[in-house]
Structure 1
Amino acid sequence: MISRSGHLGDLAGLGASFAGLGLGGLAVGSFPMPARRRFREHRHRWHQLAWAAEGVVTVETPGRTWVLPPVRALWIPAGVPHTTSAHDSAMMRSPYLWPETCPVGWNEPTVINVPPLLRELIVHLATSKLPNDARARAEAVVYDLLEPVEITTIEVPMPTDGRARRVAEALLADPRDGRTLDAWGREVGASSRTLARLFDAETGLSFGRWRTQARMRASLELLAEGVPVATVARRVGYETPSAFVAVFRRAFGVSPRMYFSDS
């Protein structure tokens, strides 16, 4: 039998503290995450519910990315490799659920709605002095509240060729940059035709589509932090809020406000 506590105890080196460790099938880890903090790719023997009680976290698995404000959490099945990062400072309070006793069996990463009751229960379970019987009762309610919500993710695959990758990294750092492929070609020493071919072959997206995807992912982090739509539009390269909202709707199927609604 694999020790329940051993693997999670190793996370203490990341600055984590745990409540409920070894007492039952659920433990809550608290991770203070300063701005730009990133946990490199790793995996757990436990299922994880990645949730930010404060701030916004971004979780990446191979080929997929989720931006999670406090009204959303991500179910990460045991064994799935992932990275977690914070654009600005955040506080993660992540429930870890032991697979052998967990009644939930989703095999794929799944976005979960976090209504006020679930939020308060997680914070409640993060208290290390909670009596065992009270902890067991609260854990049972948590399982009942795990409600999937349909969220479209935006993928921004990176090219591997050094010239195209320089362009991609520059646009991720400043999505407002509206230079054409001709201008980028002069910057990195390649023709516009070569760059267009590299983006298409190595990311599966045209350069224009790739840049739109990068802008949409950047906008999610800003919107999740509460930045006004008009400001987000300017910061990701759109001249007007209406132009930004139209592209956002095409990408996600809902308005920016509805994307982060807790209903």
Structure 2
Amino acid sequence: MSRNGQDRGRRHDTAILVGQFTMPRGTFFATHWHPVHQLLCSERGLLRIRSEQGTWLLPPALALWIPALVPHATGSEGDAVMRGVYVDPVSCPHIDWRDPTVVAMTPLLRALVEHLDRTDLTPEVRSRAELVLLDELRPVPVTSVAVPQPRDPRARAVAEALRAHPADGRPLAEYGRQVGASARTLARLFVAETGLAFGQWRERLRMQAALPYLAEGLPVESVARRVGYASASSFTAAFHRVVGVTPRQYFPR
């Protein structure tokens, strides 16, 4: 059912199949696709999913619907357990999402996934549960936290320095003295090569850097300081602006 062997050990006689994969830190499934729809969710830990449409970091509270035939790569941020729910497109013609779509992993949806992983369900019971699962898919306004990498060596050196130290708040002019380019040149390169103004790019990078800390359960105040914000309120406002929800909505306790 996939090009990289992720479907091993699953049953092939139902409309919805469930697989579970233990993913130690650093596990990575290279770009692949499925002939069926896939709902990816985390049982534990943080998952990173990348496709041409964007990059998503998924905590257990969220899942990602990946339409059939959409190439994507999946990895773990730290130790994680991933659940893959594989859906025959014929069974859900009313779901016509063309791009990967984030959905809320509600308690009911998680219970249905666990229920459909059982091997002792009758066809009638399984069919009813499958219909309820499809009806429970609720999109949430979470934006892909993609941070494009500039190609120019000078802008790339600035980007790599900030990836290593996202809290660094130095202005472009100071970075420019290190890489041999004016602040105006660097600003132009970031817009031309990433599609983002430098301030927007750095803000996205900081949100991406913050997600693993939030997943570990660190207080918002502590995470804010680690990624360069003076207060929890300013960090929360930036997080909502970039991601679409607040940190506590993204990682409910």
Q: TM-score, normalised on structure 2? A: 0.87
> What CA distance in whole angstroms lies between the structure 2 residues aligned with 1:159 and 1:64?
16
Partner of 2:29: 39
The 1:148–1:253 alpha-carbon spacing in structure 2 relative to 1, beyond 3 Å, is closer
- Superposition RMSD on alpha carbons, in Å? 2.4
> What CA distance in whole angstroms lies between the structure 2 residues aligned with 1:203 and 1:153?
15
Match of 2:150 among 159, 169, 180: 159
Match of 1:120 among 111, 120, 134: 111
The 1:86–1:151 alpha-carbon spacing in structure 2 relative to 1, beyond 3 Å, is same
Query: 1:48 aligned to 2:38?
Result: yes
Q: Where in structure 1 are there 5+ consecutive unaligned residues?
A: 1-6
Matching residue's letter, 1:86: S
Cα offset, 1:254, TM superposition = 4.4
> What CA distance in whole angstroms lies between the structure 1 residues aligned with 2:112 and 2:155?
47
Query: 1:191 aligned to 2:203?
Result: no
Query: 1:181 aligned to 2:172?
Result: yes
Cα offset, 1:77, TM superposition = 0.4
The 1:37–1:186 alpha-carbon spacing in structure 2 relative to 1, beyond 3 Å, is farther
Q: Where in structure 2 are there 5+ consecutive unaligned residues?
A: none
SS of residue in 2 equivalent to 1:231: helix
Cα offset, 1:44, TM superposition = 1.4
SS of residue in 1 equivalent to 2:91: coil
Cα offset, 1:95, TM superposition = 0.2
Cα offset, 1:169, TM superposition = 2.7
Q: Percent of aligned positions with the same letter in both sequences?
A: 49
Q: How many residues align?
A: 251
Partner of 2:69: 79
1:67-106, Cα deviation, whole Å (9 max, x unpaired): 2211211111011122222211111111011123334332
Matching residue's letter, 1:251: V
Q: TM-score, normalised on structure 1? A: 0.84
Partner of 1:229: 220
The 1:52–1:228 alpha-carbon spacing in structure 2 relative to 1, beyond 3 Å, is same
Cα offset, 1:117, TM superposition = 1.8
1:1-26, Cα deviation, whole Å (9 max, x unpaired): xxxxxx24x543x5x6543x211121
Cα offset, 1:29, TM superposition = 1.8
